[in-house]
Amino acid sequence: MPRTLQSPLRLALLGSLAGIFLAVLTLAPAFWLSQAIGYLSHQQVLLQHPTGTLWKGSAQLALSSGSSSPFALGLPTRLHWQVKPCCLSFATPTPEPFTSASTSYLTLLLELQAPCCLERPFLIAIKPQGLGLLITPQRGQIKLPAHWLEGLGAPWNTLQPKGLLTLENQDFQVLLQKDRVSPKGTLELKIDQLSSRLSTVKPLGSYSVLLNSQSSPQIELSSQANSRLMLKGTGQWEAGRLHFEGLAETSASDEETLSNLLNVLGQRNGRQARLKID
C-alpha cells in the first residue's frame, strides 16, 4: 500500500476506535453500575432492576446479608441518579452546596432522587485527588425507615426495628484510594422513636451514632435521657472492620418486659447486656 494512503487510513481507524469508545462510555448500561456496587459491598448493598445508563438511570436500592442470601429488602421507592460535569471551565461558578475546595473543572456531580427519603435532589461531588477519588456529599439529611435494616439479616431480622433513621452530614468527606478508605469530618445517624417486635415497650427511645474521623474513625453511641432502653458505647473503624463495645441497660421496673430484647442484644448480666462487635 502506498505510504500516502497509510496516514489517512490510520487516522480513520483511530477515529473509529475513539468513536466506539465514546459510544460505549456514553451508553454504558446501568447494569454495569449495579454489578460494581454489589461487588464492592460484598453483595450487601444492591441496585436491583436497574434501567437506563451509567450516567442517568434508576434502580431499587436494597440491603442484603450477602451473596448467599436469597432475600433483599429495598426502599419503598426507586433511586434515580444522574451524573454530570460540575465545572466545564474555571469561569463556571461553584455549585451552591459546595465550597471551591471540594470542586474543580474535573469534578463530576452525582445527583440522587428518591421520593421516600430525600425531600429534594441530593448532590455528591466526585473529583480526582492524588491517586484516588475525593467524595463530598452536600450538607443535608437523608431519612430512611429503620425496618430497612432487616435486609442485612441477623440480628436485624430478629429485632425487626421500627422508627426513623436520619443521616445528617455537616462537613463529611471520604477519600477512596487503592486499598484505603479515609473519612474526614463528622457524620451523625439519629434513630428516632425506635421500637422492636421483641418488646411491648414502644418506643424504646431515641439514639445517636456519631462518626468522628481522627487518626482512625471514632464511633460513639448515646441515648436521649428519656429512653426506656439506655444504649451507650464507643468503637473504631480499622482496616475495613468495625470494633465496638458498649452497654444496653434498663430500669428495674422494665427488666422483665425487656428481658427478651436484652438476651438478643448481648451477654446478659441482670438489667444489662454487653454490646460487642469485633
Question: Which pLDDT tens digit goes with each residue over 8-66?
Answer: 555 445 544 444 444 445 557 889 889 988 887 889 999 999 999 989 999 999 999 88
Tell me, yes or no, if the pTM score tops 0.75: yes
- Give CB contacts under 8 A, 24+ apart, made by 58-66: 58/30, 59/30, 59/34, 61/114, 62/151, 63/148, 63/149, 63/151, 63/152, 64/151, 64/152, 64/153, 65/151, 65/152, 65/153, 65/154, 66/42, 66/153
Which triple of cell numbers denotes residue 264?
Answer: 438478643
Task: Calculate mean pLDDT across residues 113-142.
Answer: 89
C-alpha grid cell for residue 43?
453483595
Q: What is the pLDDT of residue 26?
A: 54
Strand partners, 272: 249, 269
More confident residue, 1 or 126: 126
pLDDT bin (cut points 50, 70, 90) of residue 198 is very high
- In this predicted structure, what is the pLDDT of residue 94? 54
- Looking at per-residue pLDDT, the higher value among 86 and 107 belongs to 107
Cα end-to-end span (Å), the chain = 69
List the grid coordinates of 104: 474543580
Q: CB burial class (10 A; 0-12, 13-18, 19+) of residue 26?
A: exposed
pLDDT at 50: 95
What is the reported pLDDT for 5?
A: 46
pLDDT at residue number 24: 47
143-169 confidence digits (pLDDT tens): 999 999 999 998 899 999 999 999 998
Average pLDDT over residues 62-74: 88
Q: Is the pLDDT of residue 108 over 80?
A: yes
Burial tier of 204 (Cβ tally within 10 Å: 0-12, 13-18, 19+) = buried
Q: How crowded is the C-beta side of 60, counted as CA atoms within 13 Å?
A: 12
